[in-house]
Each structure stands twice: as structure tokens, then as C-alpha cells.
Amino acid sequence: HLHNYSPNKELVFLSDASDAHWAGCLAQCSKEDADKPLQEQEILPMMFFSGTFQAQTLKVSVVYPVVGR
């Protein structure tokens, strides 16, 4: 089930994409879990979203930054 926002938790954004589709999840985890590997975190999902790339967006180049702590 989906969880409500809690100011006492860390926000987590998870995403994935293929050549044709994309998806994302906005979630939270406890501050204690935030420094653990993703597989060990208790992720509490708040929102899911997904879509299909349109023809005009397939022509756009995108740079994917690596974000870490």
C-alpha cells in the first residue's frame, strides 16, 4: 500500500527506463536506513508513475548524472 509523507524520514527516488518506456517511484525510508545499501532499506512507497516515450522525445539526448552521498 502507499504511505503518507513523513518529515522524519528521508525521501528516496527510484527510476528505470528502457528504449520505449520509463517508470519511477517516490518513496521514503528511515534516517537509519538511508546509509544502508538499497536492498537492505525498508522502502515505503508514496507514489508510482510510468509512461511511454513519445516519438519526439526519443530524439532528445539525455545526460544521466550519478548522485550519491
End-to-end CA distance of the chain: give it in Å, rounded.
Answer: 28
Taking a C-beta distance cutoff of 8 angstroms, is the pair 23, 48 a contact? Answer: yes
Residue 19 is predicted with a pLDDT of 84
- At 3-56, the pLDDT tens digits run 999 999 999 999 998 888 999 999 999 999 999 998 999 999 999 999 998 887
pLDDT higher than 60, residue 69: no
Residue 68 is predicted with a pLDDT of 62
Residue 31 is predicted with a pLDDT of 94
Average pLDDT over residues 53-61: 77
Residue 6 is predicted with a pLDDT of 96
